[in-house]
Amino acid sequence: MSLDEYRRKRDFQITTEPKGQRARRTKKLIYVIQKHQASHLHYDFRLEWNGVLLSWAVPKGPSTDPSVKRLAMKVEDHPIEYANFEGVIPEGEYGGGTVMVWDRGTWEPEAPDVEEALERGDLKFTLHGKKLKGSWVLVRTARGWLLIKHRDEYASKEDVLTAQPRSAISNRLLREIALINHGNVEKAAKGDPAA
């Protein structure tokens, strides 16, 4: 990750320069899920870390049921400002389609060393979103990462994706976002629950 070289060059037992992690921990880290109706509907799960949004594409979206494991494909880091993007990506461009900020909030790692957890492929964290809350894990398997809810007071068998289909920032459905941004309304509507 981006602070690796900085840390490699320093012995923090000797220098009083900051290691970088404790300072970051004092500031709340952004969490966002963007519902994205591109060629296929998916949910982009993003966690702020080291100045970027670590990103996973979750084809079926998150489940609050701890017995359900959702495939999460690691994709490229995104800029922090991307967390505010809700609108239309022009057809023919990368990811062309409609994007909704489906959930937003902050997150906290549950282990002290996030870098180590990511390398090990087992990142436990707590979400403080409008929709998703409580303890979760991203675990890496041979087939990719899995996003899984831990058992706690926020675990539920209810399908949060259909129960709460609207934007966390505008309260709009995908078709409404497409409409006001001159996107493909018919295509966007495929990602909304049937009326």
- Give residue for tokens 């519902």: 35
Stretch that binds Mn ion, among 37-45, 63-71, 77-85, 108-116 (CB under 5 A): 37-45
* CB nearer to Mn ion: pick between 44 and 176: 44
Stretch that binds Mn ion, among 3-11, 39-47, 153-161, 166-174 (CB under 5 A): 39-47
* CB nearer to Mn ion: pick between 36 and 166: 36
Residue 36 binds Mn ion, judged by CB under 5 A: yes
Give the footprint of Mn ion on residues 115-174 (CB under 5 A).
none
CB-based closest residue to Mn ion: 36
Residue 192 binds Mn ion, judged by CB under 5 A: no
Residue 44 binds Mn ion, judged by CB under 5 A: yes
Q: How far is the CB of 95 from Mn ion (least distance, A)?
A: 5
Rama region for 187: left / alpha / beta (φ>0; ψ in -120 to 50; rest): alpha
Q: How far is the CB of 127 from Mn ion (least distance, A)?
A: 19
Give the phi and the psi of residue 92 in degrees, each rounded to 5: 95, -20
Residue 35 binds Mn ion, judged by CB under 5 A: no
Residue 86 binds Mn ion, judged by CB under 5 A: no
* CB nearer to Mn ion: pick between 135 and 175: 175
Question: DSSP string of the chain?
Answer: -TTHHHHHT--TTT--S--SHHHHHTSPEEEEEEEEESSSEEEEEEEEETTEEEEEEETT---S-TT-EEEEEEEEEEEGGGGG--EEEPTTSTT-EEEEEEEEEEEEESSS-HHHHHHHTEEEEEEEESS-EEEEEEEEETTEEEEEEPSSTT--SS-HHHHS-S-TTT---HHHHHHHTT--HHHHHTTSPP-
Q: How far is the CB of 57 from Mn ion (least distance, A)?
A: 6
* CB nearer to Mn ion: pick between 59 and 193: 59
Interface ranges with Mn ion (CB under 5 A): 36, 44
